[in-house]
Structure 1
């Protein structure tokens, strides 16, 4: 094991570039999947005719497919029908589609957990259905969603490593290149990558606990 060689300035700089790409892809996917997942979750919660059943089928289909298959489909199958996405865009699109389906279920579950008596009380006080949803259901539901949402975001961050199969220059991709320069780097580099993932995800979990404690 060559720790000194593995942790050279050039290698650490190269790995930091991969980490930056991981954070960019994860950050964009988190924002997009959260927004889309919230919209889908709300639509399914209010049970809009036609649209809600269609979204149910789409969500269940996506949730029961492996993320790797979605990545391959977007990167290699869509160009066959004329839809060509760049490497980073394809990775973000695949992660967003998959995670939005997961988040929509978290959102729907969080909204459903709110006591219907509160909704009835809000309606009886003169609020419209939309106002009751916006002022009563959503604020309480979002607070309950924080822990599972953060857990899903942590999973998303780890899932960016799957994009190595389409050669996205993220952390694991760069780690593989460094290891390829010398097998004595394998353990040191993998330990460092594990530490990086742990640190980032641990920080996210601490944020989740802080937010949860604030609203208890």
Structure 2
């Protein structure tokens, strides 16, 4: 087995280019999904008539769809109705991952807010704060500490899920790994081992962050 050839500078550099795309897509998706998910989860918690019910339906629908289906829909269906921007695999992947992960984050946020004792909100309201002020200054800061560990775990899953975008020919890490493996049959095992190691290192660092956040919460 030609391990030397598999781990050539060109091949490793090609994998690193794929990793950069993976991290770029993951980071943008994490930021967008956090903002959208936090808003959706808060709206569900607030129980605003109609709005909360609509959010609940959307979140449940998205959470129960396969991510791969959402990726295919974004890349191939949306351009058919005139949204040509999503012919770009990178944009399609970011939107698909954002939509899917935002639904997951929304449920984490809602659960985190519900975990705070009702007395906290009642005490804040009785002190003269409005509902929004009490939510922002009293309930949310406490809930955020409880949300962070599961959120980081969800973001780890998001980073791994970027590998699914290889089906729409996004030049991320898994896509580039497959290209290198196809060049020489002797490179298949070593190059996939290298790719697995890269995923492991990145996700292990995020796992350590999640554990430290969990330890702080306790």
Class of the TM-score when normalised by the shorter of the 2 chains: over 0.9
* 1:117-164 deviation line (CA, Å, top 9, x unaligned): 111111111111111101111001110011110110000000000000
**CA distance in structure 2 between the partners assigned to 1:21 and 1:45 by the alignment:** 35
Q: Structure 2, unaligned stretches of length 5 or more?
A: none
Counterpart of 1:146 in structure 2 is 148
| Pairwise CA RMSD | 0.9
- 2:199 and 2:33 map into 1 onto residues whose CA distance is 21
Look up the match of 1:60.
60
Moved over 4 A (4+): none
Secondary structure of 1:169's match?
coil
Provide structure 1 residue ranges, at least 5 long, that are not aligned to the other structure: none
Q: How is 1:75-86 mapped onto 2 (pairs within 5 angstroms)?
A: 75-84=75-84, 85=86, 86=88
Q: Normalising by the residue count of structure 1, what TM-score does the alignment of the two structures yield? A: 0.98
Per the alignment, residue 70 of structure 1 pairs with: 70
Deviation at 1:215, TM superposition (A): 4.0
1:30-66 deviations in Å (ceiling 9; x for gaps): 0000000000000000011111111111111111110
1:23-102 aligned within 5 A? 23-84=23-84, 85=86, 86-102=88-104
The CA distance in 2 between the partners of 1:211 and 1:74, in whole Å, is: 34
Structure-2 separation of matches of 1:122 and 1:39: 21
Q: How many residues align?
A: 216
Name the counterpart of 1:214.
Answer: 216
What TM-score do you get using the length of structure 2 for normalisation?
0.97
The 1-side partners of 2:190 and 2:5 are apart by 9
